[in-house]
Amino acid sequence: QANPSCDYVAVEMRSDRVGQMFSRAYLNNGGDPITNLCSIGSECGSFLRTKVKKGSVSKIFVNHPEPPTQTYGANDSILDAIAEGSEEPAHMLTSATLSIAAACLDPDGGEIIIVTDNRWYANLICSSALKVMKENSGLISTSNLNAKSGIRQVDVFYGKDPSQSIILYEGQPNEAIGHSTQRSQSAHTKTKGSTYFDRLWRKGAGNHAEREKRFIICLTRGCKKRTNINMDEKKKPKKKKRNSTSTK
């Protein structure tokens, strides 16, 4: 509604959420129906593979994807093996799904923006993204968000190739990464995102989810010049391994 010149497609497997999105867009709190939103009930990978034209999407937002388990991603040796091509556990954002999503992005600056409250799952997603880099050279690169409002770099994941790295950020979803926000009722500051999943998160995170922190991964279509990585010199990994500075 805030961007009538853009078209939005919301993909969700749960039929109740598909119906909820459609009804909210049509009723629109008594206003005119929102006409630039399409609600789809589908598994995201098959939808992107069979229904979306390659190079036609400007941004893909993934908000609080469900992890394979709440703690998978805590083992660095498993993460390193995945980054080098080993089998991944079944989860939404496998390297296969990320590759399909990246192929659908506009080659001129299309982005995948992932927000999660589970640090271990963020680790796994970063390793899956490195696997994409290894198997599909030039398809994606990591985005530099260091200048974005309220977002800071917390970790870097490296492949054996020194040109391959994925940066993990911490921060709250905001306009700087394409998320809308709303004013808090009790303060002049803005809330931490305004999507359905933002509201669920504020009501109470899971047992292994962060209560205040959220983690952001931003991938750009194509291969850019190597991103400057602003990690403390003493925290840089040896032999191009993943940086081990963890907040959880």
pTM of structure = 0.78
For the ranges 92-96, 211-215, 221-225, 230-234, the lowest mean pLDDT is seen at: 230-234
Q: Are strands 8-12 and 37-41 parallel, antiparallel or unpaired?
A: parallel
Split at pLDDT 50, 70, 90, the class of 232 is very low
- Residues of the chain with pLDDT > 90: what percent? 54
What's the rounded Cα separation, in Å, for the pair 115 and 216? 5
Split at pLDDT 50, 70, 90, the class of 88 is very high
Segment 129-157, tens digit of pLDDT: 999 999 999 999 999 887 777 899 999 99
Segment 168-226, tens digit of pLDDT: 999 988 888 888 775 544 444 445 545 554 545 445 555 545 557 899 999 999 976 44
More confident residue, 3 or 73: 3
Per-residue pLDDT, averaged over 116-139, amounts to: 95
Averaged confidence pLDDT in the chain: 81
